[in-house]
Amino acid sequence: MKRRNFVDIFLGGSLLATIAAFLYPVVRYVLPSRSAGGGVQNSVTAAKAGELPPNTAKVFKFGSAPGVLVNTAEGKLVALSGTCTHLTCTVRFDAETETLFCPCHNGRFDLGGNVLSGPPPRPLETYAVEVSGADIIVSRKS
């Protein structure tokens, strides 16, 4: 191979690699991800039965958004959206008051999703919870 051919191939390959490096992130951004599923999911296994001791909670993935599964002090399972209705921060369970708390602007919700205090304008969406064998299934209410 002549030196000139080698340089042409090397520069052409470099140019193609540079173009691919610029286009790849653009294509990934424009095309929806298969794993995201468009963010809509109607049912998910949120936890295993017995995984949550009383008065604890777990944040689980419900489609592309967080959900919160709470096992109350009385042993009742409650599931709600984990996305605060104010500015979409993820809420946390406060075991001391048995409420959901948003750390961004001190929003607070009861376990029925109702706003107790702070700036959130709407209640949290509540989900149906069902124990099926070893799984705790959380579903959107229709």
**Contact residues for ligand FES, defined by CB under 6 A:** 84, 86-87, 89, 102, 104-105, 107, 118-120
Give me the least distance between CB of 79 and ligand FES, in Å please: 19
Q: Pick between residue 105 and residue 122 the one whose CB is nearest to ligand FES.
A: 105
Give me the least distance between CB of 82 and ligand FES, in Å please: 11
Give me the least distance between CB of 126 and ligand FES, in Å please: 17
Residues 6+ apart with CB under 8 A from 77: 52, 69, 70, 71, 129, 131, 136
Q: Pick between residue 63 and residue 119 the one whose CB is nearest to ligand FES.
A: 119
In this structure, the strands spanning 56-62 and 107-109 are unpaired
What are the tokens at 81? 């959206």
Q: Pick between residue 47 and residue 113 the one whose CB is nearest to ligand FES.
A: 113
Give me the least distance between CB of 81 and ligand FES, in Å please: 12
Q: Pick between residue 66 and residue 119 the one whose CB is nearest to ligand FES.
A: 119
Closest CA relative to residue 76, chosen from 129, 114, 116, 113 = 129
Task: For the beta carbon of residue 28, count every other beta carbon within 10 angstroms.
Answer: 10
For 8-52, the three-class secondary structure string (H helix, E strand, C coil) is HHHHHHHHHHHHHHHHHHHHHHHCCCCCCHHHCCCEEEEEECCCC
